[in-house]
Amino acid sequence: MAKVIGLTCNANRFYSATASKVKARKYVLTKYFEGEPKKSDFQIVEEELPELKDGEILTEAEFLSVDPYMRAYMIGYKLPTDMIGGQVAKIIASRNKKFPEGKYVAGSFGWRTHTVCNPSVAPTIGFLPTTLLPDISPHPVSLGLGVLGMPGNTAHFGLKEICHAKPGETIAITGAAGAVGSHVGQIAKALGCRVIGFAGTDDKCQYLEKDLGFDKAYNYKTANIRNALKDGAPNQVDCYFDNVGGEISTTIMNYMNKYGRVAVCGSISSYNDMKLPKVTILQPAIVFKELKVEGFLVNRWIDRWDEGINANLKLLREGKLKYNEKIYHGFDNMVEALVGMLRGENTGKAIVKVK
């Protein structure tokens, strides 16, 4: 599970870029989600932005992120509230020398088109900082929402600090074709692990095996999970990177080796349910195999943020890290993108190109 990404900037002010004032459009959540998110749960509101103060920048969103955590987190906010989320935005005006006009930032600005903020001010606890994107050409800046952003760091730190994956070990990954899962598998391959993935379509499985180098990938909707594990993990499973929760997780944990490590990153299988589902009890496997099962939010490593970004950039430049993006188009289609991602339409990272 990724961390909360919300507004780190004060958006309730007005800005005059030049002569005319810049207007931002933003999503305000007015109803708690029930089942799948709906467009009618939101209002799109227009607001004028304030003049820039010293240290502040004005950004224009180019790519907005839709991530699984968004479905789970909003219940914790009092309504109405601005919708949370990460974005990659271009600096279109600046009174901060470290953040010059024309550069790109990744920021927790929420679902909005324009933002005024001071990127040098530490973010509210629980939120990610506003960071200048490194030069990643010839790759697109949208990677700041994917392999070089929050999902990338989730994969990096989750695998290294929670799974403690070692060369020669076998790792299983659910939600394997998603932004985080597909990334975890590639780091694990680079580490020298055997990697098996579970995803929701045959096409995704083929992508994982053929393009990303997973040793085996299985369609969890059609495969017998136990048989898949026997086939794909002849030495059983040492590490499990759990993005989905659900019954499949119990089955995998029952196929793990003694002292196995489970990184619980998300539980997407249950996010749309009004009441949490019941699954076969985990404790017997946890006891008898002496498993260590740990949940995490990536903001735990906020002080080491650049370490993760740089490690992933290195893998990218070495050709050991591939990426895929499912691009939705248009600021007005954020909800469709969120729902599409929750349904598993994406292979790799789901993002929205604002214009």
Using CB under 8 A as the criterion, which residues of the chain lie in contact with a copy of itself when the complex forms?
Answer: 1, 72, 242, 245-246, 249, 264-267, 270, 276-297, 300
Cis peptide before 129 (omega within 30 of 0): no
Helix/strand/coil (H/E/C) assignment for every residue in 124-167: CCCCCCCEECCCCCCCCHHHHHCCCCHHHHHHHHHHHHHHCCCC
Residue closer to a copy of itself, measured from CB, 212 or 265: 265
Name the minimum Å distance from CB 246 to a copy of itself. Answer: 7
Name the minimum Å distance from CB 76 to a copy of itself. Answer: 9
Name the minimum Å distance from CB 152 to a copy of itself. Answer: 18
| Cβ 49 vs Cβ 13: under 8 Å | yes
| Cβ 5 vs Cβ 301: under 8 Å | no
- Give 26: exposed, middle or buried? Use CB within 10 Å, 0-12, 13-18, 19+: buried
Measured distance CA(199)–CA(208) in Å, rounded: 9
CA-CA-CA-CA dihedral for 348, 85, 76, 80, to nearest 10: -130
Residue closer to a copy of itself, measured from CB, 24 or 293: 293
Residue closer to a copy of itself, measured from CB, 172 or 265: 265
| Cβ 34 vs Cβ 274: under 8 Å | yes
Measured distance CA(254)–CA(237) in Å, rounded: 9
Residue closer to a copy of itself, measured from CB, 100 or 277: 277
Name the minimum Å distance from CB 88 to a copy of itself. Answer: 25
Which of 95, 141, 85 is closest to 119 using CA atoms? 95
Residue closer to a copy of itself, measured from CB, 190 or 286: 286
Which of 76, 77, 61, 69 is closest to 117 using CA atoms? 61
Token pair belonging to 67: 């991530």
Crossing angle for the helix pair 150-157 and 179-191, to the nearest 10 degrees: 40
Residue closer to a copy of itself, measured from CB, 33 or 328: 33
Residue closer to a copy of itself, measured from CB, 239 or 264: 264
Number of Cβ within a 10 Å radius of residue 297: 15
Beta bridge partners of 87: 64, 107
Q: What residue type is 53 in one-letter code?
A: K
| Cβ 244 vs Cβ 227: under 8 Å | no
Residue closer to a copy of itself, measured from CB, 71 or 114: 71
Measured distance CA(207)–CA(197) in Å, rounded: 11
Measured distance CA(83)–CA(70) in Å, rounded: 9
Name the minimum Å distance from CB 242 to a copy of itself. Answer: 7
Name the minimum Å distance from CB 1 to a copy of itself. Answer: 4
Residue closer to a copy of itself, measured from CB, 71 or 112: 71
Name the minimum Å distance from CB 187 to a copy of itself. Answer: 20
Name the minimum Å distance from CB 291 to a copy of itself. Answer: 5
Name the minimum Å distance from CB 105 to a copy of itself. Answer: 27
